[in-house]
Amino acid sequence: MIRSFVFAAALLSAGAAFADLITMKDGRVIEGDVILDDGVHVKVKMKHGALTLDKDKIASIEEKLTPEQEYAERVGKLDASSFKAQLDLAEWAESVKLEAEAIEHFIAAWKLDPESARARLPLERRDWHVVDGEWQDPDTYYKGRGWVRFEGRWVHPLEYGWRLSIQIREKMESQLADANARVRRHRDAKDRAAAAALGAERAIAERERARGDAEAAEPQAKADAKAAERVRTDASRGVDRAQFLYDQERLRQQRGETNALGAADDDLRRAKRALAAAEFDLVEADRRVTDLEKTVAALGASIDAAESVKAKAEAEVKTEAAAESEAAAGIHELEEQAAAARGAEGKAKAEWERAKPGK
């Protein structure tokens, strides 16, 4: 469709854009305002930005008035004294979601025929009310009667008081629940810290007993090591003596003299075995002393670590106990406030149930 200059001027003078329906050859339908058509491309202004289309892909462009423009045309032709004309225009405006215009013409139709349910009911559905022969919107009507806007709707003062008392009660109960939860959290943390302190104390006692046992065993182990050293020294001297006698007997043998080389050899072998056994015993005795010394040192370090854990846990017990006491301090007052809020809610609800006025 070719737009003429005259049509474009008329469009601008209307003060509102046309809503164009653009049907593409692939079946898509696009709604917007054609703001450019250069024969090759068509640019469409849409709600969010603009879209450029290839004109050869467009099947048709249908120019359509917006609801506001069509309303302006209908009003221009309206017979204001006709009940039917006013009602028809009101119902049409309602169908295209022109709310203010629909209400205006429903009221105009009602004034022409106050008995008409078709004119009256749409207004009542919108919570409009007739006062002294004039329709009032909900805000004007309810505000004039002392009603209160609450959570998006108008409520009677007594209902407002009841619903407000529910919120106050819920807030008090929430604060009380939070306070009790804080008390429980701090109490649990305190109990965990106390258990940790007790565990550390038991570990310290066990390790101190073990260290005491190790320290008590040290003197004997050192004495055993010294004894083993003496035995090894004696065994070494025994080897030296046996070696000397063996050498003497061997010389006699070499000179052809009577000798006891066989017995000397046996004695030397026994002396060496005794020395080897004594050296083994000395190594074991020294290892025992070293092991005990290491055990005492390790237990001392472990005791220090356990004492640090105990000190930290005991400090945490004090901190959590103080926090628990602080959290518990306000609970009685909150319980009283929650009870008072429940009582106030019950009273407000009873007052509202007794009254239940109509609108």
The whole-number pLDDT of residue 227 equals 96
Tokens standing for residue 47: 């709600």
The whole-number pLDDT of residue 108 equals 97
The whole-number pLDDT of residue 209 equals 96
The whole-number pLDDT of residue 357 equals 64
The whole-number pLDDT of residue 17 equals 45
The whole-number pLDDT of residue 342 equals 94
| Domain 162-228+272-345: CATH class, spelled out | mainly alpha
The whole-number pLDDT of residue 62 equals 84
Closest by Cα among 146, 128, 145 to 137: 128
Third-level CATH fold of 5-64: SH3 type barrels. (2.30.30)
Question: How would you write the pLDDT of the chain (359 residues) with one tens digit per residue?
Answer: 333 323 333 333 334 445 688 899 999 988 888 889 898 999 988 878 888 999 899 999 888 788 898 999 999 999 999 999 999 999 999 999 999 999 999 999 999 999 999 999 999 999 999 999 999 999 999 999 899 999 888 999 999 999 999 999 999 999 999 999 999 999 999 999 999 999 999 999 999 999 999 999 999 999 999 999 999 999 999 999 999 999 999 999 999 888 898 999 999 999 999 999 999 999 999 999 999 999 999 999 999 999 999 999 999 999 999 999 998 988 989 999 999 999 999 999 999 999 886 54
The answer to whether 45 touches 82, Cβ cutoff 8 Å, is no
Closest by Cα among 231, 245, 244 to 275: 231
pTM attached to this predicted model: 0.53
CB count within 10 Å of CB 166 equals 14
Write a three-state SS string for the chain: CCCCHHHHHHHHHCCCCCEEEEEECCCCEEEEEEEEECCCEEEEEECCEEEEEEHHHEEEEEEECCHHHHHHHHHHCCCCCCHHHHHHHHHHHHHCCCHHHHHHHHHHHHHHCCCCHHHHHHHHHCCCEEECCEEECHHHHHHCCCCEEECCEEECHHHHHHHHHHHHHHHHHHHHHHHHHHHHHHHHHHHHHHHHHHHHHHHHHHHHHHHHHHHHHHHHHHHHHHHHHHHHHHHHHHHHHHHHHHHHHHHHHHHCCCCCHHHHHHHHHHHHHHHHHHHHHHHHHHHHHHHHHHHHHHHHHHHHHHHHHHHHHHHHHHHHHHHHHHHHHCHHHHHHHHHHHHHHHHHHHHHHHHHCCCC
* Domain residue limits, the chain: 5-64, 70-145, 162-228+272-345
CA distances from 319 to 67, 152, 180, 201, 281 (A): 71, 47, 18, 19, 57
